[in-house]
A and B are shown apart, each in its own frame.
Chain A
Amino acid sequence: MFRAGKLSVAVMALLALGGGFLGVSAAAASQPLAQPHAAVTGENYVIGTDTTFAPFEYREDGELTGIDMDLIRDIAANQGFTVEIKSLGFDAALQALQSNQVDGVIAGMSITDERELIFDFSDPYFDSGVQMAVAEDNTEITGYADLVGETVVAKRGSEGETFANSIKDEYGFTVKALADSATMYDDVKAGNSVAVFDDYPVLAYGINQNNGLKSVTEKEQGSSYGFAVNKGQNPELLAAFNTGLAELKDNGEYQTILDTYLEQPAPAMASGFFGLLSDSMPALMKGLGLTLLATGLSILIALVLGVLFGFFKVSESRVLRGIASVYVSIFRGTPLLVQAFFFYFGLPQLTGQSIDVLTAGVLTLSLNAGAYMTEIVRGGIQSVDPGQTEAGRSLGLGYVTTMRRVVLPQAVKIMTPSFINQFVMTLKDTSLLAVIGFAELTYQGQQIYAANFRTGETLLIVAALYFIVINLLTMLSNKLDKRFNK
């Protein structure tokens, strides 16, 4: 699989900007985070991987499994070290590797010249190739020649896309790019595209999971997958991987792993909607828990930030007003997604301090929501009639007492509906943290449909969970509002 990582380029550009802005030297950015290990024996390595790239990595009953997973675990056992797998997403895993948040990445990654500039690759462990598939009931398309005038779909930045583009003029079809396999297959089933070009192991696995497609061509000669470490980092890990791989090939374990996933994949159990519901519920509940945790923490911190900067905004000090304005304009003036990437990938590169995904997520959401809260607090205070402050002050009450006893009780009443609104927004915004691999509700949903290809039903369940939780919380908030803000 070849993925160009346009995202990585964007993030790197942002980091470069951030680095210049903060005045952090390039030397600081390239400082290693991980401690060097002389030998692998007894060591624990953090390995980044894609969220779902079946059959190389995917979740089965909540456990990460697949060719990559079996391979890295068996090699670790063979070479006497242990691994901690972090399921981050492909782009995120590469970012994490560059910022030394992980020691290595195994994610069905093609060895390319570009990537060899920034990473050190192991010996190839798998030879891939592109294959074309169409909907199961499609009898008209049997080869490239039948594609004239049609639209096909391929994964953005993948080898499939490169291949499709290389032959599209010859056969007269159009190529459309989508982000992941599950949505591509749905696109073909929905008839938006007639065929999909994808990596053959992925396609083979999907077909075996009853994704509603069938392959109609032989696989094209493709690239090789490798395990990667950051350039110049963890050479002993790379060496151990190569040694272990060779030994697994010699003793037949390697072939057993491939056969497990490619030759005799277990046929998927076709369960009904309620089967899917009960199967996915444990993972989704775990995700929902993290969603609520991140929302709760973020809203609390945002409230503190909002009150602090809100008071700055209405203060008489030009400096304090300026600080609050800068804060608000930065966090309201940049997308939440960029902020999330920055805190998770950028900050570690700038500070040399690694950060866990929950911390990065809560930091992002609370700073972002805090900016909106600041405006809510400012608006609330300013919407109280100035005559109220004058009345308080003319009685000889100080600024703080007047605020506390006269202005704030009225302002809070005005602000409460906006607070509830922000709370709901922040809860929904947690779903964006899926991109940095935070295992909240949306992430869990993506994991599930990426493995079972039942996108529509899974998303329906995920949406229903959000809907129920948000409406319950809104009802509760409104009840509290009525009770305390009579």
Chain B
Amino acid sequence: MSKISVSGLRKSFGSNEVLKGLDVEITEGEVVCVIGPSGSGKSTFLRCLNKLDELSAGTVIVDGFNLSDKTVDLNEVRQHIGMVFQHFNLFPHMTVLQNIMLAPTELKKESKADARATALKLLDRVGLSDKADARPAQLSGGQKQRVAIARSLAVNPDIMLFDEATSALDPEMVGEVLQVIRDLAAEGMTMVVVTHEMGFAREVADRVIFMADGVIVEEGTPAELFGNPQQERTQDFLSKVL
């Protein structure tokens, strides 16, 4: 069964149409990497999946929730979808532990003590147990992004969205973040990963989607898309980045 089902998705900002009719089905446990030149609409597509951006037309059904339905409780939906941002967006006025505990405690999912135990477990999982009481400002970029991933996982999502999670990082820190994402993939998390890391996409993705100018130009397994791209635009793009 589809975990994410997108059909006819359109999105405009004013008169500028950024998404021009997307159709995507993503099944449970699938890891989908979205690649393409900047301005192609990758990030907007991702932000439509948890409705950080309003949909202009089409339907998006995530984990059984129809996002086009005005009555659907977005706060409920978003607890099923974790999101990791390019610029981390950690809360600077809280410690690492408080960042992770905020949502579970505010949403009354867990008692404070339980949330703390969960948060420590998640920190251990991303290899930052010793940073529990640090402030975001004291962390490196790679550490910040790992905390951000732990924070998203704290509400126990079924789906994870990664919006260029390594683009703002120094090269030597990319690896540690990709390792965490790789581990999540291995555990069977459904994931949509917008990335510029072609090697990573080739290694981890079950399927790769190539987007340009607001449409899906081509999609397939990494072997198909990277090994034998059918469309000229895909070939053109790949020849530049590989």
Contacts and interface: CB of A to CB of B under 8 A. Distances in A.
Nearest to B92: A410
Given A390-B52, A405-B102, A397 B89 contact: no
Contact of A396 (B75, B85, B90): B75
A265 interface: no
A396 B78 contact: yes
A482 B85 CA distance: 31
Contacts of B194: none
Contacts of A395: 78-79, 102-103, 151-152, 155
Nearest to A486: B93
Contacts of B190: none
9 contacts: A387-B87, A391-B85, A391-B90, A394-B50, A394-B52, A394-B152, A395-B103, A397-B102, A413-B93
Given A401-B106, A410-B92, A410-B93, A394 B78 contact: yes
A396 B107 contact: yes
B76 A391 contact: no
B200 interface: no
Contacts of A406: 91, 102
**What bracket does the count of chain A residues touching chain B fall in?**
10 to 19
Nearest to A409: B93
B48 to A, nearest CB: 13
A385 interface: yes
Contact of B91 (A388, A396, A401, A413): A388
Contacts of A401: 106
Interface in B192-214: none
B19 interface: no
A393 interface: yes
Contacts of A385: 89
A342 B128 CA distance: 63
A398 interface: yes
A394 B83 CA distance: 6
Given A405-B102, A405-B106, A398 B89 contact: no
A398 B78 contact: no
A203 to B, nearest CB: 66
The binding surface of chain A is classed by DSSP as helix
B125 to A, nearest CB: 18
Q: 6 shortest A-B CB distances, which residue pairs?
A: A391-B89, A396-B79, A395-B103, A387-B89, A394-B83, A396-B78
A410 to B, nearest CB: 6
Contacts of B107: 396-397
Interface in B66-89: 75-79, 81-83, 85, 87, 89
B138 to A, nearest CB: 14
Contacts of A410: 92-93
A390, A395, A410: most-surrounded residue (chain B CB, <10 A): A395
B91 A391 contact: yes
A472 B87 CA distance: 42
A437 B78 CA distance: 59
Given A385-B89, A391-B83, A409-B93, 16 more contacts: A387-B89, A388-B89, A388-B91, A391-B85, A391-B148, A393-B78, A394-B50, A394-B82, A395-B155, A396-B76, A396-B103, A396-B155, A397-B75, A397-B107, A398-B75, A406-B102
B145 to A, nearest CB: 12
Contacts of A405: 102, 106
A405 B78 CA distance: 18
Contacts of A390: 52, 85, 89
A397 B75 CA distance: 6
B140 to A, nearest CB: 19
A234 B79 CA distance: 74
A114 to B, nearest CB: 61
B106 to A, nearest CB: 5
A357 to B, nearest CB: 43
A316 to B, nearest CB: 11
Interface in A106-146: none
Contact of A397 (B50, B93, B106): B106
Interface string B99-127: 00011001100000000000000000000
A409 B98 CA distance: 14
Contacts of A392: 91
A395 to B, nearest CB: 4
B46 to A, nearest CB: 11
A413 B83 CA distance: 27
Nearest to B154: A395
A193 to B, nearest CB: 61
